Structure 1
Amino acid sequence: MIVRKTEQAFILIHQHDHAALSEQLARSLAPELLPEGSRRAEIIYAASQHDRGWISLDETPVWNDAAGRPFTFEDYPLLPKIAFYKRGIDEVEAVSPYAGLLCSLFYSAFFVHMEGEACEEFLRREEIRQHRLTMNLRTEQQELDRDLKLLQLLDSLSLYVCLNEPGAAGENEHPWYREGFPGTEELMPSGRKLKASWQTKQRLLLSEKALQGPVYTTLRFKRVPTSLIEDKGIDIAYRQCPIETAELVWDSSS
């Protein structure tokens, strides 16, 4: 679950709905970033399904007593999270081995600097998967590295709007993206880092030509009042709140 706190409510976004926004952006990437070709559909599929392991976990939010809010994707208990990561990658691979390979690499990056037996076991298992798929698919390392960076960018673009209050700027932006999206210098034809900014509460501007803009996207979420959570508990409060949709327009400055 992606969680954003407002004055009177929590904004809760399913990871799979966040991935649906990643897919919408993937379909609209500029041809310089994602040209037509045999891998295009597989990269789009990876973007759309990269968080499918969260589908079951996100059915019911779980309250984090220590933090005073629902658990987020960052602090959700590690062991069940790892188990569902593996399940999600398995399901993606069953449909598209190349998308499965990208998702495996995507999640492995989270654990590279983490310690603990569960993390090390996850990395060992995924390294075996990655070796098998790389050999079977005969992928070029340079191509694979670039496609992984595209998946990471699509994830980050979607997270930008999930984690930020619409219209946020400067120090009010989420700290992950105040300086732009890491690693995008290698993707952008200009060699410059890609940055995003809110022009209004519905419109976003990208600093580089990354999309076939303007691009119209939607994002599903729930707004759960803190007063309702205090009265009913997180489970009932969440179920009583309707799904809302944010309509967003993306464009590029050049």
Structure 2
Amino acid sequence: MIVRDGGDSFVLIRQHDHAAVSEQLARALAPELLPPDSLRAGVVYAAAQHDRGWIELDETPIWNDAAGRPYAFEDYPLLPKIAYYRRGIDEVEAVSPYSALLCSLFYQAFFESLEGEACEAFRSAEQVRQRRLMMNLRADPERTRLDLLRLQLLDSLSLYVCLNEPGAAGRDEHPWYREGFPAADGLLPHGRRLRASWIDEQRLLLSEKALLGETKVELRLKRVPKARIAAVGIDEACRASELETVELVWRNPPV
């Protein structure tokens, strides 16, 4: 779950709904960033499904007493999170082995700096999967590296709109993306840094051409009143809250 404090309510975004925004942006990526070749579909599918392991976990939000809010993806208990990560990659592999390779690499990167038996077991198992898939697919290591950057960029672009209040600027922006999106450094010419900014509460502007053109995306979310949570608990309050669809528009910089 992605959790944003909205004052008198919490804005909750299911991970798979966040991934749906990644997919919509993936379909609109300019050919300079994502070539229109036989591997493009695998990147798009990876973007769409990279968080499918969260589908069941997000069905029942859990309250984090220490933080005074629902558990978010950053601090969700590690062991169930790892188990569902693995399950999600398994399900992706059943449909698209190349997408699963990208998802496996994507999740392994999260655990590079983490210690502990469970983290090491996850890394080891995914490295075995990666070697098998690379061999079976005869995947090109350099193309795979670039496609992983594309997946990381699509994840970050979606998270930008999920973690930020619409219209946020400067110090009000989420700290992860105040300096832009490093994943794009290896994709854009001359290593230029891709940045995003809000034009208003619905429209966003990119600092470099990254999309085919103006791109509309739909983000599903719930606004769960804090008073309702205090009265009936997070699970019942979430179930009673309406699922909203917010339309956002991404633009390339003016020519």
CA deviation string 1:45-93 (max 9, x = no partner): 0000000000000001100000000000000000000000000000001
Answer yes or no: is 1:28 the counterpart of 2:28: yes
Distance in 1 between residues matched to 2:25 and 2:247, nearest whole Å: 13
Tell me which amino acid in the other structure corresponds to 1:161.
V
Tell me which residue corresponds to 2:124: 124
Deviation at 1:213, TM superposition (A): 1.8
Tell me which amino acid in the other structure corresponds to 1:35.
P
Q: Report the 3-state secondary structure (helix = DSSP H, G, I; strand = E; otherwise coil) of the residue aligned with 2:224.
A: strand
Distance in 2 between residues matched to 1:93 and 1:183, nearest whole Å: 24
Tell me which residue corresponds to 1:83: 83
Tell me which amino acid in the other structure corresponds to 1:154.
L
Q: How does 1:202-213 map to 2 (within 5 A)?
A: 202-213=202-213
Tell me which residue corresponds to 1:51: 51
Does the Cα contact within 8 Å between 2:152 and 2:183 map onto a contact in 1? no
Answer yes or no: is 1:145 the counterpart of 2:140: no
Distance in 2 between residues matched to 1:183 and 1:90, nearest whole Å: 25
Q: How does 1:96-175 map to 2 (within 5 A)?
A: 96-175=96-175
Distance in 2 between residues matched to 1:113 and 1:65, nearest whole Å: 26
Tell me which amino acid in the other structure corresponds to 1:156.
S
Distance in 2 between residues matched to 1:183 and 1:129, nearest whole Å: 23
Tell me which amino acid in the other structure corresponds to 1:62.
I
Identical amino acids, percent of aligned pairs: 67
Does the Cα contact within 8 Å between 2:150 and 2:183 map onto a contact in 1? no
Tell me which residue corresponds to 2:94: 94
Structure 1 runs, 4 residues or longer, greater than 4 Å off? none
Does the Cα contact within 8 Å between 1:9 and 1:226 map onto a contact in 2? yes
Distance in 2 between residues matched to 1:75 and 1:238, nearest whole Å: 19
Q: Report the 3-state secondary structure (helix = DSSP H, G, I; strand = E; otherwise coil) of the residue aligned with 1:244.
A: strand
Tell me which amino acid in the other structure corresponds to 1:143.
R
Distance in 2 between residues matched to 1:6 and 1:19, nearest whole Å: 21
Distance in 1 between residues matched to 2:110 and 2:185, nearest whole Å: 21
CA deviation string 1:1-23 (max 9, x = no partner): 00000110000000000000000
Distance in 1 between residues matched to 2:113 and 2:190, nearest whole Å: 31
Deviation at 1:139, TM superposition (A): 1.0
Tell me which amino acid in the other structure corresponds to 1:114.
L
Tell me which amino acid in the other structure corresponds to 2:79.
L
What residue ranges of structure 1 are gaps of 5+ in the alignment?
Answer: none
Does the Cα contact within 8 Å between 1:29 and 1:211 map onto a contact in 2? yes
Does the Cα contact within 8 Å between 1:32 and 1:189 map onto a contact in 2? no
Distance in 2 between residues matched to 1:55 and 1:183, nearest whole Å: 25
Q: Report the 3-state secondary structure (helix = DSSP H, G, I; strand = E; otherwise coil) of the residue aligned with 1:183.
A: helix
- For normalisation by structure 1, the TM-score amounts to 0.99
* Matched positions, count: 254
Q: Report the 3-state secondary structure (helix = DSSP H, G, I; strand = E; otherwise coil) of the residue aligned with 1:72.
A: coil
Answer yes or no: is 1:248 the counterpart of 2:248: yes
What residue ranges of structure 2 are gaps of 5+ in the alignment?
Answer: none
Tell me which residue corresponds to 2:39: 39
CA deviation string 1:113-139 (max 9, x = no partner): 100000000000000000000011111
Does the Cα contact within 8 Å between 1:2 and 1:15 map onto a contact in 2? yes
Q: Report the 3-state secondary structure (helix = DSSP H, G, I; strand = E; otherwise coil) of the residue aligned with 2:76.
A: coil
Tell me which amino acid in the other structure corresponds to 1:21.
V
Answer yes or no: is 1:8 the counterpart of 2:8: yes
Tell me which amino acid in the other structure corresponds to 2:195.
K
Distance in 1 between residues matched to 2:183 and 2:132, nearest whole Å: 27
Does the Cα contact within 8 Å between 1:197 and 1:206 map onto a contact in 2? yes
Deviation at 1:190, TM superposition (A): 4.6
Distance in 2 between residues matched to 1:219 and 1:174, nearest whole Å: 18
Does the Cα contact within 8 Å between 1:181 and 1:195 map onto a contact in 2? yes
Distance in 2 between residues matched to 1:207 and 1:141, nearest whole Å: 29
Does the Cα contact within 8 Å between 1:204 and 1:251 map onto a contact in 2? yes
